[in-house]
Amino acid sequence: MKKTMKKCLTLLLALSACGARSKPVLATTGMEPTLNLTLPDTITLPDKGRDTVYKCYVDKAYSMALAAALLDMDADTMQTQLAGRLSYDAQTGYIQYYTPTEELTPGDLSEFPTDAQLEQIVRERLKKGAPELADTSRIVFSSATYSATYETNVSSKTVDVTPEINGRMVYGKYHISVSFDKDGNVTALTQQYAPLKEGGTKTVRLADAKTVQARLDAHEFSANIAQQLTDCTITGFEQAYYMNAGFNAEGDYALYPFYVLHGQGTAADGSVQAFEVLVYAL
């Protein structure tokens, strides 16, 4: 099965958390040592600025209600009818639901609801299950197909929902994916989302440009590159967050500030390739 993105997130990073540490541990691609990066003077980080680390918490009733809303059924019916296909992780509050592949009926992509229709469906259901996510989450689409053309023999179409914090992107385990068949029925749900704890925050000092440069020099970052690039330059940055996969040494503090550095470099064939680098911001 292949997946194609009509609109894609520009950064696909595999990140993991380590229970013995007080901050996330970035999983690298192996290409990071090939990147020699210098933070240009034209980029001004929030030196001596402050940001927030957030706590999350597990609330089974909340998670079940959200999943039921996305599946368009009530929580009791969901747990009864979908028994054996619906799983709940008591440690994280994450929920997984799937339909076996052999039960899916493929069709042409044109037979599926449009992106706009699916976005409307998902946002309306979010309003029922988690109103705070309905209007602020970022949404992108993908389709699963057995065809090389990506337009025929499509088994499902997926809506990927990423809630934002303070208007910023969140990477890591902080997203919801809902897959639909051509009739608009939900065929799969991946709910890797835990609500933020009210009042569960602490203020932290952000890393300044000197600290970030030291991390770049030490290759303490994760980059979304698959080949060696030369003449690399950093062209911009944005502030973001990363959600831990689970609990860590600080208890349920789980959502951390990060810098996303945007850049470009030259590939072996002479083409210019864009890349992004994720750097711990504390």
Q: Provide mean pLDDT across the span 96-102.
A: 93
Picking from 154, 220, 128, 117, the residue whose alpha carbon sits closest to that of residue 3 is: 154
Sign of CA dihedral 21, 27, 30, 31: negative
Could you tell me how far CA 123 lies from the centroid of its own chain? 17
pLDDT higher than threshold 70 for residue 186: yes
Q: What is the mean pLDDT of residues 150-156?
A: 83
- Look at 16-30, 67-81, 181-195, 238-252 and tell me which has the smallest mean pLDDT: 16-30
The contacts of residue 70 (CB under 8 Å, 6+ apart) are 122, 125, 126, 129, 176, 178, 186, 189, 191
Span 149-170, average pLDDT:
87
HSE (side-chain half, CA atoms, 13 Å) at 268: 4
- Residue 247 pLDDT greater than 60, yes or no: no
Radius of gyration of the chain (CA): 20
More confident residue, 106 or 2: 106
| C-beta of residue 202 within 8 angstroms of C-beta of residue 253 | yes
Give pLDDT tens digits for 107-141.
899 999 999 999 999 999 999 999 999 988 999 88
**Count of CB atoms within 10 A of residue 92's CB?**
19
Residue 3 has pLDDT above 70, yes or no: no
* pLDDT band of 27, cuts 50, 70, 90: low
Task: Band the pLDDT of 15: cuts 50, 70, 90.
Answer: very low
Q: Please give the residue that has the higher pLDDT: either 233 or 57.
A: 233
pTM, 2 dp: 0.80
3-class state of residue 51 by DSSP:
strand
Measured distance CA(2)–CA(149) in Å, rounded: 10
Q: What is the pLDDT of residue 141?
A: 87
CA dihedral 81, 57, 192, 247 (to 10 degrees): -130
**pLDDT over 70 (residue 84):** yes
